[in-house]
């Protein structure tokens, strides 16, 4: 079981460009940040910091275009900043969401357990349409999202290929990189993503 420990930010824009930013502090590929972008035409792009990340992520999710670019990111309690090839992002971080408070009631070891995540998957889809905690990924892989807390993203400035993408908005329609979308409301979650490969 490959485990990726870190944060995922889901951000929508008024122009229709939607971002899913993965900030991974601990993973089989080391610490890295990658970005999945879907524009208003439905074009799905992966921005990866190196070929190893590009190969792993593109074997798990579906993209129309893959770019290996320099990725520089910072994250603290108040702000997320990111530069990744054609993408520039600054986002404001707010307080814990209602979902985050509920998640805080579940012990972390349980919240990230694949068995628990398989059990609650049907409920997750009802509470947040398009969101799943367990499912089939690419190349026969099975993936589990164990979220332990969630905070609001309150503001965002996004430039994609040099164009301002407008005000922060919901991730609507849901992104289509894998079996699960990020939540519609812009937020940053703390997560353990577990991926079981067929050889495992």
Q: The whole model's pTM is what?
A: 0.92
Query: pLDDT averaged over the chain?
Result: 93
**Residue 36, pLDDT above cutoff 90:** yes
Distance in angstroms (rounded) separating the CA atoms of residues 7 and 93 = 13
69 has a pLDDT exceeding 60: yes
Q: Is residue 101 classed as helix, strand or coil in its secondary structure?
A: helix
Note whether 153 and 139 are within 8 A (CB). no
Over the stretch 157-175, which tens digit does the pLDDT of each residue have? 999 999 999 999 999 999 9
- Tell which phi-psi region holds residue 173, choosing left (phi > 0), alpha (psi between -120 and 50) or beta: beta
**Measured distance CA(69)–CA(85) in Å, rounded:** 5
Min mean pLDDT across 109-118, 123-132, 154-163 is at 123-132
User: What are the residues facing 142 on neighbouring strands?
Assistant: 136, 196
Could you count the other beta carbons within 10 Å of the beta carbon of residue 68?
16
Percent of residues, the chain, with pLDDT higher than 90: 74
What are the structure tokens assigned to 179, written together? 């079996």
Which of 3.30.410, 1.10.3470, 1.10.357, 2.40.400 would CATH assign to domain 2-196? Answer: 2.40.400
For 16-38, b/e burial (b = at least 16 CB within 10 A) is bbbbbbbbbeebebeebbbbbbb
Dihedral sign for Cα 109, 151, 97, 13, please: negative
Angle at CA of residue 4, ends 144 and 109, nearest 5°: 65
Domain boundaries, the chain: 2-196
Angle at 51 between CA 49 and CA 160, to 5 degrees: 40
Q: What is the DSSP string of 138-161?
A: GGG-EEEEEEEEEEEEEEEEEEET
Using alpha carbons only, what angle is made at residue 79 by residues 152 and 99, rounded to the nearest 5 degrees?
Answer: 15
Please choose, from the candidates 39, 59, 43, the residue with its C-alpha nearest in 3D space to the C-alpha of residue 51.
Answer: 59
């Amino acid at each position: 079981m490959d485990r990726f420990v870190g944060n995922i930010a889901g951000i929508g824009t008024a122009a229709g460009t939607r971002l899913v930013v993965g900030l991974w502090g601990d993973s089989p590929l080391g610490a890295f940040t990658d970005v999945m972008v879907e524009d208003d035409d439905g074009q799905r792009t992966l921005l990866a910091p190196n070929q190893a990340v590009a190969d792993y992520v593109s074997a798990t999710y579906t993209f129309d275009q893959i770019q290996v670019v320099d990725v520089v990111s910072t994250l603290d309690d108040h702000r997320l900043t990111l530069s990744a090839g054609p993408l520039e992002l600054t986002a404001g971080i707010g307080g814990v969401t209602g979902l985050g408070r509920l998640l805080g009631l579940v012990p972390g070891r349980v919240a990230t357990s694949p068995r628990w995540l398989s059990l609650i998957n049907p409920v997750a889809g009802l509470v947040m349409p398009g969101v799943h905690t367990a499912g089939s990924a690419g190349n026969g892989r099975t993936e589990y999202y164990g979220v332990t807390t969630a905070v609001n993203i309150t503001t965002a400035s996004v430039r994609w290929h040099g164009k301002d993408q407008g005000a922060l908005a919901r991730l609507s329609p849901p992104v289509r990189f894998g079996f699960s979308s990020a939540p519609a409301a812009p937020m940053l979650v703390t997560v353990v993503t577990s991926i079981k490969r067929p050889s495992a």
